[in-house]
Amino acid sequence: MSIKHNLSNMPTFAVIADMHGNLPALEAVLADLAVVKPDAIYFAGDFVNRGPESGAVVERAMALGLPAISGNHDTWLAMLARGERIPENWGDLWWQPQRLALGELTPEMLAWIEALPATMRIELPETAPVLLVHGSPRHAREGMGRMFSDEQAAEMLRIVEERTIIGAHIHYPWERHVNGTHVVVIGAVGCPFNGDINAQYGLFTWDGEEWRFEHRSVPYDHEPLYAAWRNSGYLDDGCLSAELMLLEHHTARTHYVPFWDWCLENDLPLTRESYERFAAERG
């Protein structure tokens, strides 16, 4: 009799990431996890920014006390809080969401963020170890996804001993085997870019040989999220960057970074006038 394919008693864990200040999405995932009951739950970073409730999300995560790593948005806001790498036009309306998010983070929350490791090794009994990262094993801002080149994959394999790597950051699920290494990227809880507005996360089950990835997509009522957007002050004074972030929540597509990149390429300011040109060019 083989028990290898009986998954009911096999070890499981969940990875949740990219909450991005979206508390209703985090609550939806936590409610789903209360039913799924994995053996362990890990946070893979990006608690803050892009959504209207960064402070509330960090507060909830701190209270849960789950193992966690940081994302690029977490370390970025912590850096701004230390007064480092402040953009030269920091007073502009464009940076209103970041100024408000920073205002929500208490010294205790910032200390918690600062203490998060960049990567973590997951070791559950009688299973293969897993390397948990936010972006890639090299950098929190380097995503492993459609744009991940063979060269990047080769470099990654050179510095990683685990045969399973789990990341986040790109906000859509992605899975690939690279020369015997299993690479999985989970979907985003709070700000997905795969056209699915549900709260998403990764569930992993040990099948005796490798970790099987299940992409989970949890529907939730978005009205409290949109109410938080309206009440947070992020959108005040016609703040374009906040409008783009809200548009990302409405569409589950990326808008903010493509516009930013386009302005850099064309040497244009991050203004509504530029956005009208960008939108017209994009069709």
The residues that touch Mn ion, with contacts defined as CB under 5 A, are 18, 46
Q: Give the residue at shortest CB distance from Mn ion.
A: 46
Chain centroid to CA 206 = 24
Taking every pair of Cα atoms in the chain, the longest distance, rounded to a whole number of angstroms, is 69
Least distance to Mn ion from the beta carbon of 70, Å? Answer: 11
74 versus 104: smaller Cβ distance to Mn ion: 74
Rounded Cα–Cα distance for residues 194 and 23 (Å): 19
Q: Which is nearer to Mn ion, 10 or 189 (CB)?
A: 189
Q: 236 CB contacts (<8 Å, ≥6 apart)? A: 96
- CA separation for the pair 31, 80 (Å, rounded): 33
Kindly state the smallest distance separating residue 167's Cβ from Mn ion, in Å. 11
The least distance separating Mn ion from the CB of residue 205, rounded to whole angstroms, comes to 25
Closer by beta carbon to Mn ion, 18 or else 53: 18
Q: DSSP characters for 179-246?
A: TTEEEEEPPPSSS--SS--SEEEEEEEE-SSSEEEEEEEE----HHHHHHHHHSSTTGGG-HHHHHHH
| 41-to-1, 140, 247, 264 alpha-carbon distances in Å | 31, 20, 30, 39
- Shortest Å distance, C-beta 168 to Mn ion: 7
Q: How far is the CB of 191 from Mn ion (least distance, A)?
A: 7
User: 193 vs 211, which CB is nearer to Mn ion?
Assistant: 193
- Is the Cβ of residue 10 or residue 133 nearer to Mn ion in the bound state? 133
User: Closest CB to Mn ion among 18 and 248?
Assistant: 18
Structure tokens at 191: 């700000």
Please check whether residue 78 is in contact with residue 102, taking contact to mean a CB–CB distance below 8 angstroms: no
| Residue 71 Cβ vs Mn ion, minimum distance, rounded to whole Å | 6
Cβ–Cβ < 8 Å for 249, 197: yes
Least distance CB 138 / Mn ion (angstroms) = 17
Find the helix or strand (DSSP H, E) in which 176 lies: strand 174-178
> By C-beta, is 18 or 104 nearer to Mn ion?
18
Rounded to a whole number of angstroms, the minimum distance from the CB of residue 23 to Mn ion is 16
How far is C-alpha 85 from the chain's CA centre? 22
Question: Which residue's CB is nearer to Mn ion, number 46 or number 142?
Answer: 46
As a whole number of Å, the CA-based R_g of the chain is 19
